[in-house]
Chains A and B, each alone.
Chain A
Amino acid sequence: MTAPLHFQSIAELSEHLAARRISSVELTQAVIARTKAVESRVHAFNSFDEPDALAQAAASDSRRAGGQSCGALDGIPIGLKDVIAVSGQPLTASSKMLANFVSPYNATVTESLQGAGAVLHGRLNCDEFAMGSSTENSAFGPAHNPWDLTRTPGGSSGGSAAALAAGAAIATLGSDTGGSIRQPAALCGLVGLKPTYGLISRFGLIAYASSLDQIGPFARTVEDAAIVLGAIAGHDPRDSTSFKTEIPDYRAELKRRRGPWKLGIPEEYFGAGLDPEVGAAVEKAIAFYKAQGCEIREVSLPHTHYCLDAYYVIATAEASSNLARYDGIRYGHRSREAKDVLDVYQKSRAEGFGDEVKRRIILGTYVLSSGYYDAYYLRAQKVRTLIRQDFLNAYREVDALITPTSPLPAFKLGEKSADPLAMYLCDIYTIGVNLAGLPALSLPCGFTAGGLPIGLQLIGQPFREADLLATAHAYEQAHDWHTKFASL
């Protein structure tokens, strides 16, 4: 039985499009119809432009009719996390601060996807300014997990995961600062890739923590993730932190790069707090690789326990600075109560930002303050170097690391929202990767007894996404988790 169009992969749909079995307009209409059917329950979208999406689809069809198709993504509906700028479309970061902001320019990844012919149909819900692990910090209300609507899809890119898991997009982009792609991918049964820092341009991505932020794809399969990654990777002169490196054909490399690999199991990632069902599923995946002839080694990342501390110093410091521009002067929310310039700042920001954003701005401002800088920020940067060194040491022995993505499957909406520290612990297995600037992906590796998806994290070496994807692909080829869809 073939899946409905809205649940098919890019690889499948691009063949249908190429063979003219379907048109992009038909596919886009199917995705729109599905979106309309589920959106009131999932709340994955912040904004959606149906006429614009259909016009993009029609343009794709006429390109194809003229023999000018741009490749596998041409005509494929892809949703963007609402922190990525699309010219002429709202860009809100799920914040009241930017509720009425329309971007006058395109992010580089937006231009890349447009150049590849993708149909960018909507902007997806997330935690406000990408700060959170459940999408409950969205000023526009939380997104819901399509596998269980009472639960979170994860965060911060929860809308990107929920839309894809619900069939409201064929692929989506998110951003990952501490796990914001991988954790929702795990909680929604999807492939989510956080590329090496510097592989994808950040130009046009609303900055949360500049030295950690990285855009990446959500996809139904590893192959789809490879296709989207290939379209958005590469050096961008508009981002000084983007890296000049050869971009391989990730999709073609999936078949060329075969194991067996040497895989490392970091002991620190399997301790207290790991849900037993998640742990068991990950162990099974490890057993699979072993059965395939991979060498499995225990490794140690001794500074893992400092990851959360270092992260919440560095990320909040950068955030306090990055979010200073939202002041009600040039654009964005301006308080009606403001009587003078100080009022404009204080009241606009007090009204425009939510609690978690304020919490992080205050923390970040504190750690950069005169007299505290050395004790907090500078020390956190030194710890960060040690954390990166841990990973690089491990890579002298192994090709990649296997860990759980999230210690828990999807939790109930409201379960952790009153306890920031409990929420921060959701990112315990993903944060080190951002601090070290490494690529990592989450892929489905089973379900709990209650039917909730479980994610496996593979952590790779800098700029070796092709190897990482191939390692994941080998697992996916032997399992059918990716063929299961949420019913709603």
Chain B
Amino acid sequence: MNYEAVIGLEVHVQIKTHSKVFTRVGAGYGHEPNTLTDPVVLALPGTLPVMNKAALDAIIKAGLLLGCEIAPVCKWDRKQYFYPDSPKNYQISQYDQPICIGGSVEIELPGAARNIMGEHKKIPLARIHLEEDVGKLNHHAADSLVDYNRAGTPLMEIVSDPAMHTAEEAYAYLTSIRHTMIYGGISDCDMEKGQLRCDANISIRPVGETKLGTKVELKNLNSISFVRDGIAHEIKRQLAVVAAGGKLIQETRDYDGQTGTSQSLRSKEMAHDYRYFPDPDLMPVQVDAAWKEKLRAECPELPFDKQRRFLRDYQVPYTITSVLIPERGLSDFFEASAQLAGPGRAQAVGNWIANDFLRELSAAKLPLGASKITPASLAELVGLVEAGTLLNTAAKEVFVAMFATGEAPAAVVARLGLAAVPSDAGELETWCRDSIAANPKALAEFKAGKDGAINAFKGPVMKAGKGKANPKLVDETLRRLLAGA
């Protein structure tokens, strides 16, 4: 019998806000333990939560970006369980009235080759809800210490339908969410810092069956490649259990990315009863049309939409777009520069960014924002090359200098004497005439139809230009003169 896997993902994304979701103390990563705390975070007696509007704005924006319906009214519930990383021993979350409902995530599967776009699909979402993050336990030999810096950081949980079937789809799904959240300024989605976390619900069923099989929840998939590897491993494990005549049990398993193995954490019988009930300390939130529209106006174009537009409007190759698109700043830089450079020059702009610019940034370990190259200076450089004023090899040198000093390309060209020569077309013509006159043998051959003979005239011209003559221009001038000779 043939089986298919069915995968649903629960993705937690930390929302990038200045302060925590229910109090004013700062949120952040990498601080001294327990410095981002206050009486509310520590759940001291008598403290109350107050909703951070910036967190609500961010999740509504995320919902709009993913095409969710924004609930006109949503409420807050307490999810109750005892664990030392949870200061109140309940987590404020949303149970049956989440703020975002439905929506979908567009994904791209790997293409046949690196330079060929892969298949696109839309993975439907069940919901997105807002909750608070918990603290972090650090286990030592004799005791465990808890750091509440992370506790109360706004966290959204994006829940997909069980609609994916391969580890590759899950990988593409997570990548797409990551790009979208970064585009929207909602999160930096740094998995190493725990800003993006993923649990997977995986089951298998005979092909053609519509009912879901027994699901296994896989936890601790803490890098994007662990998500792919962990899911692939789990599908294989389930297929093997069934192939051996065994029966799958509903359980939660812990995936160890280092060893590529998983082990059972708890079975369904030991599942928590979270005793959800509406949090009486928080009022339900009403999102009206004006609020929604204000945020919709702040929503950026989605990465895949932008990629389609770049392919269509700028005629840049797919490989270049797949370098530009994931980073919003880079694609904005491209677009600004391509517009300044003018029609027909976008591909050159794209090439400069994808090759030279990224190489220099990475060598200098600089973020895009710190670079001295501007869209205007890059457009100018491309213009100089297109006009024949600057040769490709010289242009590379100019770019490196621009990157280092922030000078305009014309200034670098002048300072380093890199301009193509001669700058006067009359002088080039004289050099060409002299060269033709000096080589009657080649002239005869050319006239006899041997096109390659033209090369014999080029050497002396290049020599006169000390290597900086534009070969294309030299060729054109020679042909024009030879035609009249």
Contact = CB atoms under 8 A, between A and B. Distances in A.
Contacts of A237: 50
A302 interface: no
Given A206-B45, A240-B51, A324 B280 contact: no
A330 B90 CA distance: 15
Contact of A239 (B44, B48, B146): B48
B20 to A, nearest CB: 14
A240 B283 contact: yes
B277 A203 contact: no
A95 B277 CA distance: 26
Contacts of B88: 324-325
A114 interface: no
A325 B39 contact: no
Nearest to A326: B45
B273 A241 contact: no
Given A105-B39, A368-B275, A369-B275, A325 B87 contact: yes
B277 A85 contact: no
Interface stretch (B77-85, B258-266, B288-296, B458-466): B77-85
Most A CB atoms within 10 A — which of B51, B88, B277, B282? Answer: B277
A41 B361 CA distance: 79
A93 interface: yes
B446 to A, nearest CB: 88
A318 B280 contact: yes
A318 B146 CA distance: 26
Nearest to A201: B48
B435 interface: no
Contact of A103 (B44, B49, B90): B44
B400 to A, nearest CB: 55
Contacts of B45: 85, 91, 93, 98, 101, 103, 206, 325-326
Contacts of B80: 321, 324, 368
B380 to A, nearest CB: 53
Contact of A370 (B84, B90, B275): B275
B48 A104 contact: no
A179 interface: no
B281 interface: yes
B46 A91 contact: yes
A383 to B, nearest CB: 16
Nearest to A239: B48
B13 to A, nearest CB: 24
Contacts of B46: 83-85, 91, 103, 107, 202-207
B82 A203 contact: no
Contact of A241 (B39, B144, B276, B281): B281
A211 B39 contact: no
A24 B23 CA distance: 37
Contacts of B126: none
Given A318-B280, A324-B80, A203 B47 contact: yes
Interface string A205-230: 11101110000000000000000000
A327 B88 CA distance: 9
A456 B458 CA distance: 115
Nearest to B34: A330
Interface string B268-285: 000001011100111100
A91 B47 CA distance: 13
A84 B46 CA distance: 8
B277 A368 contact: yes
Given A369-B273, A370-B275, A240 B48 contact: yes
Contacts of B280: 209-211, 241, 318
A209 to B, nearest CB: 8
A317 interface: yes
A210 B48 CA distance: 10
B340 interface: no
A105 B281 contact: no
Interface string A81-94: 00111000001010
A205 B44 CA distance: 11
B456 interface: no
Nearest to B283: A240
A470 to B, nearest CB: 31
Contacts of B44: 85, 103-105, 331
Contacts of A85: 44-46
A321 B281 contact: no
A327 B42 CA distance: 12
Contacts of A329: 84, 146
The size class of the interface chain B forms with chain A is 20 to 34
B119 to A, nearest CB: 42
A377 B281 contact: no
Contacts of A205: 46
Given A103-B44, A105-B39, A206-B45, A370 B82 contact: no
A45 to B, nearest CB: 19
Interface string A313-338: 00001101100111101110000000
Contacts of A318: 280
A342 to B, nearest CB: 9
A8 interface: no
Contacts of A368: 80, 275-277
A241 B43 CA distance: 18
Nearest to B38: A105
A341 interface: yes
Contacts of B144: 341
A238 B50 contact: yes
Given A321-B80, A330-B43, A369-B275, A238 B90 contact: no
Nearest to B281: A210
B21 to A, nearest CB: 13
A334 B84 CA distance: 13
A300 interface: no
Contacts of B166: none
B374 interface: no
A345 B84 CA distance: 10
A331 B34 CA distance: 14
A270 interface: no
A47 interface: no
Given A203-B46, A321-B80, A104 B39 contact: yes
B175 interface: no
Contacts of B50: 237-240
B150 to A, nearest CB: 15
A171 B44 CA distance: 27
B19 interface: no
A327 B84 CA distance: 9
A450 B167 CA distance: 82
Contacts of A91: 45-46
B89 interface: yes
A408 B48 CA distance: 36
Nearest to A92: B45
Nearest to A365: B275
Nearest to A203: B48
A325 B89 contact: yes
Nearest to B49: A240
Contact of B90 (A98, A324, A345): A324
A238 B51 CA distance: 10
A323 B282 CA distance: 17
Contacts of A103: 44-46
Interface in A164-197: none
A84 B47 CA distance: 11
B461 to A, nearest CB: 80
21 contacts: A98-B45, A103-B44, A103-B45, A103-B46, A105-B47, A203-B46, A203-B47, A203-B48, A238-B50, A240-B48, A240-B283, A325-B87, A326-B45, A327-B82, A327-B89, A329-B146, A330-B43, A345-B82, A368-B80, A368-B277, A373-B275
Given A105-B39, A330-B42, A330-B43, 7 more contacts: A85-B45, A91-B46, A98-B45, A237-B50, A317-B277, A324-B90, A331-B42
Interface of A: 83-85, 91, 93, 98, 101, 103-105, 107, 202-207, 209-211, 237-241, 317-318, 320-321, 324-327, 329-331, 341, 345, 365, 368-370, 373, 377
List 3 tightest A-B contacts by C-beta distance, closest first. Answer: A324-B89, A211-B280, A210-B280
